[in-house]
Chain A
Amino acid sequence: MANSSGKKKKGAVLVVGAGVAGMQASLDLASSGYLVHLVDKSPTIGGIMSQLDKTFPTNDCAMCIISPKLVEVGRHLNINILPNTEVEGLEGEAGNFQVALKSHPRYIDLKACTACGQCRQVCPVTAVNEFNQALDLREATYMRYPQAIPRGFTIDRNVCIGCGLCEKVCLAEAVHYDDTAKEFSLDVGAVILAPGNEIFDPSKFDTYNYLNLPNVVTSLEFERILSASGPYRGHLMRPYDREEPAKIAWLQCVGSRNINACDNSYCSAVCCMYAIKEAVIAKEHAHGNLDTAIFYMDMRTYGKEFEQYYNRAKEHGVRFIRSRIHSIEPEGECDLRLTYADEQGQQKSEVFDMVVLSVGFEVGKETVELGKRLNIDLNRHKFAVTDGFKPVETSRPGVYVCGTLQGPKDIPQSVMEASGAAAGTSALLSESRWTETRSLQLPPQRDVSKEPPRIGVFVCNCGINIGGIVDVPAVREYARTLPYVVHVEDNLFTCSQDTQVRMGQVIKEKGINRMVVAACTPLTHEPLFRETLLDIGLNKYLFEMANIRNQDSWVHMKDRQKATDKAKDLVRMSVARAALLQQLEEQKIQIQQSGLVIGGGIAGMNAALNLAQQGFSAILVEKGTELGGLARCVTHTIDGMEVQPYVDSLIAEVKAHPGIKVLTESEVTSFKGYKGNFTTKVRVGSSLEEETFEHGVVIVATGAKEYRPKEFLYGEHDGVMTQMDLDEVLRQRGAGNGNDPAKWNRAIMIQCVGSRNEENPNCSRICCQSAVKHALELKKLNPAMDIVILYRDMRMYGLLEDYYTEARRQGIIFSRFDLDDLPKVESNGAGLKVTFHDHVLQRHIQMPADAVVLSAATLAANTDQLATQLKVPRNAYGFFIEAHAKLRPVDFSSEGIYLCGTAHSPKLISESITQSLAAASRAGSFLAGKTLSVGGAVAHVDKSHCAACLVCVMSCPYGVPKINDENVSEINPALCQGCGVCVSECPAKAIQLSHFEDDQITVEVHALLEGAV
């Protein structure tokens, strides 16, 4: 397939913005066989997430979970990171774009810089540290944060005085004051926009006095305050006097849901959750009993298991006060007074030590300009315009969007969208897969298993990072005395490119078969040195590293002698272990180039279709007689998109695609195998015949169902219906049938029926917008109709807020109720009578109504059997559990199995489509590899000692060990993650982990303790 100009499509992609969304899109595409140019205007990748302290709802440290991604992006052969770079223009069309780019000077050559940090240490200039939100200072020569990728420094020439000190001390000769901007162009097949948002600047709100009151901080500043790597090293302090606050308030919706003081009418979608998280974490940091109060309008904890997080925060004593604060007044020297009206309308006043402004998202001016340059449409809020059924496509074909430029959203939603955008791109460019990618050409490996160990020890000075403290020549000479050591040397920078080449020559010349590098940490450098071994034909497992920097020179810089002694100890340990290292073989196995998609709703169909468009075959298994799923019960979306024509065309497209096999009235009856090679039996049609399929991946898209209420006279009175029933009534009306809602005088809707209660603590996410959608529709049908929505919090997140505003403008009445005072619905002859407590009037109100519409919960479909067959986990409410709530939202922890749609949690159609594309992208990037390396550092069982006790089976976090037909434990090397849990648990000591064998570990311990005990 070629495009209109007849040219073959390019197999390269431009990703603009290297935050968490841009990184995910790049990783998916680069693994799928496309060359990715990842552009960011910042000197480093990582975006806003790198500045966060902990992340909701798991309370994982943001840096801890993002830094492996940073490393992965930084090391990926097919991701070309272009930092300090901006997109100037885009010509051409989908498949063949020409991008004009401009790189700003960095003044430090990344190829030469080893990130040793000498330049920073000598820099005499101080500048505001924007990474820590200006709460502290940095040098002019700086790295944004220690884990930054690319690993290299930058000179901020806006503040640099040009003293030349850094240039003098840089032994790598990486400093170039004469660096200039460079303009260049690239040819790509598609563009993914992930430039992110800026946070709202609250200084324009006079009444919050943000600029004049030091103890008023933004939420991002507070993230840095809480962070262990932040300006206060994780100690909870307020900026004015560095005292620990005893009382902190959060003000929600600063720069969001506001058409009075700013133009941001939308909800920023993340602030409620991060405020709760910050309050909970601040309490953990506090030494005393920290008082935390969150002032809010609606608590929007609509995401998966967010409601439980909210409930736990209440248990932890976080106070939630429903009130929007007008102003912050100074009190005393630096305290802050908030005056507010509580829900009963009483004026209250409280003094806080610190106030956090929960600032929202905003599309930055530069991003708006970028949008214009790229000729994509932005909506009135400046977010990229997308079609609800094509949620990752911009108005310009071939240009995709993900993350907060598409609309305000949290990290998992951004990650899903990023994978979704990658899926769209991969489908567009599949003909050019692997055409522009780079690959490693390695020589055959030399078998050293019969040779006695010949160890080479390379000691690194790391500039003066190590050499300035540790007596490196003494360590080098000490290494010479150790057993099996045949070569020693020290290097200025062992990691530099020229050193790698020289090390390779030395290893060959001297017949070295085990390499020990005494330098920094294997976390950042092991892959590099392993590559050096591979380049000269040695097995990568014949390498061992001694960390004499992070664990020695950096922590013992005041005692050079002891630091040198410790370096010798560490080298002795590494040499001892190196002598016992074994070369390990990794085998390549073929990956079946097909996917099984379970569930034929919108999510399953989109996933199958995208897989097929990517060039893989798909088997779509649907339980029902027809494809379509729950979407068949939805007439249109809140933004007016007609659902049924879309579902019809999607079904037609799926059925017509030669790469998709559709099986209706079908169910999975058995499932076995492992990633890349699954075998599934499916009972097809009404017959009892089974078909067997071999496939490489599985996508679970089993959907959800609407709760059938037991409360509020549902099923007892014709006037009581669910939102889905109302949809049907409205559709039948269109067909001229039944109860005509246009004749209703009053309709009352009740929210959270079957949600957010003891039985089901989850928020069902979509019912608030269902209610507003139908209320607006009823209003259109009969403008005189009274519509009352009884709610607990209106969770009209993101851009949905506009519809909530519109509903209020049209006179729809919203009245809030509490869980302990539920509305009462009674029969009133043919009509109904609803009694509820009105929070403004502070009394019970009784209203007759023609219809009562229940916003019933979205519940998980029954997947007991499937979950058991696939051995994938579900939560207590039957929704499948993803591998990681934040960064792996569509993967299961068992590799090769993915999930999407409402099987994951309740969501809108557009969100389901995004997630299904994401699942297809993750699946596609795995399938595209064609082969799988298995083995290496994985566990192996000594059959003769296995007691078949099941301890490994019970303790493996990935469910890998099985007791086989020989009645002993078997660990599939293709599935084993090498974590070692089974090894430590095995009561018979029958399991060992390759590369971490007991003898390899104990020899290190003995070497350490040599002479000491």
Chain B
Amino acid sequence: MIIAEPKPIDEIIDSLKDFNRILVAGCDGCVTVCEAGGMKEVEVVASALRIYFKQAGRAVTVDEISLTRQCDRPYTAQLADKIDQYDAVLSLACGVGVQFLAEDYKNKPIFPGVNTCFMGGTEEKGLWTERCQGCGKCILANTGGICPIARCSKRMLNGPCGGSSDGRCEVNKDIACGWHLIYERLKELGQLDRFETPTDPKDWNTSRDGGPRKVIKEVSRL
């Protein structure tokens, strides 16, 4: 899923302090699961805003809602009949949701309430780690199911580098060396011979280097 974390409340207040009617809009998708932008966070942020405006002596309306997904238009459209009641929207969805709202409601300022971080998974309650960088050309088949693009600090294709020490990365001892993990896994699988053939340079066209991307699945198109 997409992992995000709540923005500091001061930053949110700074972006909204001049508005009078604010809607805080959560998303029931990924950001709910990673506890950054679901209905609970909507209520937390909205309460913090109300306290701020009350203390500032300003009568500001702060309403709450959470949409099923902000990355699908039928769901963002659920705001259509109420959007005019507000002069700003704080979206707690990922960057995708914020942009969909901004595209759908062109005359409304839409502010992000979270920092969208990466694609990852839940390690344990309250801890999420990165697994994928969306490079557009998956090489996990050759690397023992461990991605060197996401897990190696240098995104090396032929690792490990000289900075790997006792399985830890030179960038930070808290980071496991991705290539060390790949080595251990390939050893487990009896595939260490993969290290005998160097991997060719990667075609980064499918990644960000080719500009903004789109995916078309012809059979799915109507």
Within the complex, which residue of A945, A950, A1013 is in contact with B122, where a contact is CB–CB below 8 Å? A950
Residues of A within 8 A of B54 (CB): 1013
**What 1/0 flags go to A971-991 for Cβ under 8 Å of B?**
000000000000000111110
Does residue A338 face the partner (Cβ distance < 8 Å to B)? no
In the complex, how many angstroms separate the beta carbon of B49 from the nearest chain A beta carbon? 15
Q: Which residues of B contact A945 (CB under 8 A)?
A: 28, 39, 66
- Given A987-B32, A987-B33, is A947 in contact with B38 using a C-beta cutoff of 8 Å? yes
Known contacts A947-B28, A949-B33, A1013-B54: does B122 contact A987 (CB below 8 Å)? no
Contacts of A988 in B (CB 8 A): 28, 32, 38-40, 66
Contact check, B32 vs A947: say whether CB atoms are below 8 A apart: yes
Kindly state whether residue A955 has any CB partner on chain B within 8 Å.
yes
In the bound complex, what is the Cα–Cα distance between A888 and B93 (angstroms)?
A: 46
**In the bound complex, what is the Cα–Cα distance between A945 and B29 (angstroms)?**
10
A984 to chain B, nearest CB (A): 8
CB–CB B43/A989 < 8 A: yes
Interface: A951 (CB within 8 A): yes
Q: Which chain B positions have C-beta within 8 A of A986?
A: 40
B residues in contact with A951, CB < 8 Å: 33, 35, 125
Are the C-beta atoms of B39 and A989 separated by less than 8 Å? Answer: yes
| Interfacial chain A residues near B29, Cβ < 8 Å | 947
- Docked-complex contact B40 and A947, CB < 8 angstroms: no
Residues of chain A within 8 A (CB-CB) of B124 are 954
Q: Does the CB pair A947–B33 fall under 8 Å?
A: yes
Tally inter-chain residue pairs, CB-CB below 8 A: 41
Cβ of A753 to closest chain B Cβ, rounded Å? 33
Contacting pair B122 A989 (CB below 8 A): no
Report yes or no: A989 in contact with B125, Cβ–Cβ below 8 A: no
Q: Give A952-983 as 1s and 0s: 1 = Cβ < 8 Å from B's Cβ atoms.
A: 00110000000000000000000000000000
Which of A954, A955, A989, A1013 is close to B40, meaning CB atoms less than 8 Å apart?
A989
Q: In B16-33, which residues have CB < 8 Å from any A CB?
A: 28-29, 32-33
Question: What is the CA–CA distance of A987 and B42 in the complex, to the nearest angstrom?
Answer: 9
User: Which residue on A lies nearest to B39, using beta carbons?
Assistant: A989
Q: How far is the CA of A1011 from the CA of B125 in the complex (A)?
A: 40
Task: Tell me the nearest residue of chain A to B124, going by C-beta.
Answer: A954
B99 to chain A, nearest CB (A): 22
* Bound-state Cα–Cα, A25 to B43, Å: 49
Among B32, B33, B35: residue with most chain A CB under 10 A: B32
Find chain A residues with CB under 8 A from B38 CB. 947, 949, 987-989
Which residues of B (110-129) have their CB < 8 Å from a CB of A? 122, 124-125
Residue of A nearest to B36 (CB): A987
Asked if A987 meets B125 with Cβ closer than 8 Å, knowing A945-B28, A947-B29, A949-B33, the reply is no
CA gap between A988 and B92 in the complex, in Å: 12
Contact A949 B32, beta carbon cutoff 8 Å: yes
Point out the residues of chain B lying under 8 angstroms from A990, CB to CB.
39
Instruction: Tell me the complex Cα distance, A988–B31, Å.
Output: 10
* Those of A580-616 within 8 Å (CB) of chain B: none
Chain A interface mostly helix, strand, loop or mixed? Answer: loop
Q: Smallest CB-CB separation from B51: which chain A residue?
A: A1013
Q: Which residue on chain B has the smallest CB distance to residue A983? A: B40
Cα A989 to Cα B122 in complex, Å, equals: 19
Q: Which residue of A lies closest to B38 (CB)?
A: A987
Q: Tell me which residues from 65 to 84 in chain B have a Cβ below 8 Å from any Cβ of chain A.
A: 66
Question: Nearest Cβ distance between residue A990 and chain B, in whole angstroms?
Answer: 8
Count chain B CB atoms within 10 A of each CB in A949, A950, A987 and give the residue with the most: A987
Question: With A and B bound together, what is the CA distance between A951 and B29 in angstroms?
Answer: 14
Residues of B within 8 A of A989 (CB): 38-40, 43, 66
The docked-state distance in angstroms from the alpha carbon of A990 to that of B43 is 13
Distance from A820 Cβ to chain B, minimum over Cβ atoms (Å): 29
Shortest distance between the CB of B151 and any CB in chain A (Å): 23
User: Counting chain A CB atoms within 10 Å of each CB, which of B43, B66, B124 scores highest?
Assistant: B66
Complex partner residue of B41 from A954, A955, A987, A1013, CB under 8 angstroms: A987
**Nearest neighbor of B41 in chain A, beta-carbon distance:** A987
How far apart sit A1013 and B54, CA to CA, in the bound complex (Å)? Answer: 8
Tell me the smallest distance from the CB of A388 to a CB of chain B, in Å.
47
Q: How far is the CB of A226 from chain B (nearest CB, A)?
A: 36
Q: Which residue of B lies closest to A1013 (CB)?
A: B54
A1013, B47: Cα distance in complex, Å: 14
**B122 CB to nearest chain A CB (Å):** 7
Residues of A within 8 A of B33 (CB): 947, 949-951, 987
In angstroms, Cα B14 to Cα A12, docked, is 72
**Which chain B residues in 121-177 approach chain A with CB under 8 Å?**
122, 124-125
Closest to A989 in B: B39
**B39 → A minimal CB distance (Å):** 4
Considering the chains assembled together, what is the distance between the CA atoms of A988 and B29 in angstroms?
9
How far apart sit A564 and B138, CA to CA, in the bound complex (Å)?
71
Give the CA-CA distance A986 to B125 in the complex, in Å: 12
CA distance A1013 to B53 in the complex (A): 12
Query: B residues within 8 A CB of A950?
Result: 33, 122
Chain A residues closer than 8 Å to B66, beta-carbon distance: 945, 988-989
Closest residue on chain A to residue B126 by CB atoms: A954
A947-B29, A987-B33 given; A955·B125 CB < 8 A: yes
Whether A987 and B43, one on each chain, are in contact in the complex, defined by CB atoms closer than 8 angstroms, is: no
Q: How far is the CA of A954 from the CA of B35 in the complex (A)?
A: 13
B107 to chain A, nearest CB (A): 30
Distance of A231 Cα from B42 Cα, bound (Å): 50
Task: Report how far A951 CA is from B33 CA in the complex, Å.
Answer: 8
A889 to B33 CA separation, bound complex (whole angstroms): 37
Measured in the bound complex, the distance between the Cα atoms of B41 and A989 in whole Å is 9
Q: Which residues of chain A are near B28, meaning CB under 8 Å?
A: 945, 947, 988
Nearest residue, chain B, Cβ from A986: B40
A947 CB to closest chain B CB (Å) equals 4
Cα A439 to Cα B7 with chains together (Å): 58
Task: Tell whether, in the assembled complex, residue A954 and residue B43 are in contact, meaning their CB atoms are under 8 Å apart.
Answer: no
- How near does chain A come to B121, taking the closest CB pair, in angstroms? 11
Residue picked from A954, A955, A988, most chain B C-beta under 10 Å: A988
Collect the chain B residues with CB atoms within 8 Å of residue A954's CB: 124-125
- Chain A 986-1013 against B: per-residue CB contact (8 Å), 1 yes, 0 no? 1111100000000000000000000001
Whose C-beta in chain A lies nearest to the C-beta of B54?
A1013
Chain A residue at minimum C-beta to C-beta distance from B55? A1013
Residues of chain B within 8 A of A949, CB atoms compared: 32-33, 35, 38
> In whole angstroms, what is the CA distance A945 to B122 when docked?
20
How many angstroms from the CA of A987 to the CA of B126 in the assembled complex? 12
Write the B34-62 contact mask toward A (1 if CB under 8 angstroms, else 0): 01001111010000000000100000000
Task: Say how far B142's CB is from chain A's closest CB, in angstroms.
Answer: 31
Q: Could you say which residues of chain A place their CB within 8 Å of the CB of B41?
A: 987
Separation of A88 and B39 alpha carbons in the complex (Å)? 67
State the CA gap A1013–B39 with chains docked (Å).
Answer: 25
Residues of A within 8 A of B40 (CB): 986-989
State in angstroms the CA–CA spacing of A559 and B45 once bound together: 38
Q: How far is the CA of A954 from the CA of B41 in the complex (A)?
A: 18
CB-CB nearest in chain A for B1:
A949
In the bound complex, residues from chain A placing their C-beta under 8 Å from that of B125 are: 951, 954-955
Bound Cα distance from A951 to B35, whole angstroms: 9
A988–B122 Cα gap in the complex (Å)? 17
Q: A806 CA to B196 CA in the complex, in Å?
A: 72
Q: CA A787 – CA B40 in complex, angstroms?
A: 70
**CA–CA, A955 and B125, complex, Å:** 8
A497 CB, min distance to chain B CBs, angstroms: 45
30 interchain pairs (CB within 8 A)?
Answer: A945-B28, A945-B39, A945-B66, A947-B29, A947-B32, A947-B33, A947-B38, A949-B33, A949-B35, A949-B38, A950-B33, A950-B122, A955-B125, A986-B40, A987-B35, A987-B38, A987-B39, A987-B40, A987-B41, A988-B28, A988-B32, A988-B39, A988-B66, A989-B38, A989-B39, A989-B40, A989-B43, A989-B66, A990-B39, A1013-B54
Q: Which 7 A-B pairs have the closest CB atoms?
A: A987-B38, A949-B33, A989-B39, A954-B125, A947-B32, A987-B35, A988-B38
Q: Known pairs A949-B32, A950-B122. 16 more at Cβ < 8 A?
A: A947-B32, A947-B33, A947-B38, A951-B35, A954-B125, A955-B125, A987-B32, A987-B33, A987-B35, A987-B39, A987-B41, A989-B38, A989-B39, A989-B40, A990-B39, A1013-B54
